[in-house]
Amino acid sequence: MGGLERMNGYGLIVFRVSQLRSVLDSRARTYLVPGYNYLTFDVIGDLAFGSPFGMIKAAKDIAPVAKYQTSAMATYENDKVEVDVEYFPAIKILNDRVIYTVSMGMLPPWLRPFLRKFHRKGDIATANLAGIAIAAVSKRLKAPTDRVDILSKLQAGKDDEGKPMGPQELTAEAIAQIIAGSDTTSM
């Protein structure tokens, strides 16, 4: 087991901040706010899914999104099948989703179906957020580790009948981790 796998939450954050500092040293100060957003996503990836999204390393708002969500979730238990991904800006996806959910949430329920057609960008953002979660869960389940992360704790959990979480439940929890982590640290 490598050194990074043995790090606890605090050690991972210190490591990611040092990674960010090395990127900041080589870029203009205008990178500072996006850099902290990249730091946030990489720490969320580390703590929730066992590895970063890679935004600090890429110095870019980019995350893998599962192309075919239903078939990707069906491969959670099959480590021989790779999930097809494309890359999208995760921070933009979350921002678009927030605008969409807030605006829809303020409307009376009877009016929402009629106005959804004007919020196509919000529907796409919601689907892409699910795709980010699916890609992260799939990657983590295909690379078992002794490292304890949030996903491993969720996998260990059982329902009232003693059954583990299914693919849809794991995905829903992964979406919650991404939203909670980014919303509580937003600038």
In sequence order, the 6+-apart residues with CB closer than 8 A to the CB of 114 are none
What pLDDT is stored for residue 1 in this prediction? 45
Measured in residues, the chain has a length of 187
Alpha carbons 79 and 160: distance in angstroms, whole number: 28
Window from 54-63, 135-144, 156-165, 178-187 with minimum mean pLDDT: 178-187
Classified as helix, coil or strand, 110 is coil
**Whole-angstrom Cα distance, residue 146 to residue 155?**
13
DSSP state letters, 22-59: HHHHTS-GGGHHHHHHHHHHHHHHHHHHSS--SHHHHT
CB 67 within 8 A of CB 86: yes
| pLDDT mean over 20-37 | 68
Whole-number pLDDT of residue 136: 93
Write down the pLDDT at residue 129: 93
Residue 153 has pLDDT above 80, yes or no: yes
List, for residues 74-122, the tens digit of each pLDDT value: 988 787 888 999 999 998 898 888 888 888 888 889 988 887 777 788 8
13 neighbors 47 (Cβ within 8 angstroms): no
Q: What's the start-to-end Cα distance of the chain, in Å?
A: 35
Whole-number average pLDDT of the chain: 84
pLDDT attached to residue 89: 93
The Cα 112–Cα 117 span in angstroms is 9
Structure confidence at residue 104 (pLDDT): 84
What is the mean pLDDT of the segment spanning 136-164? Answer: 87
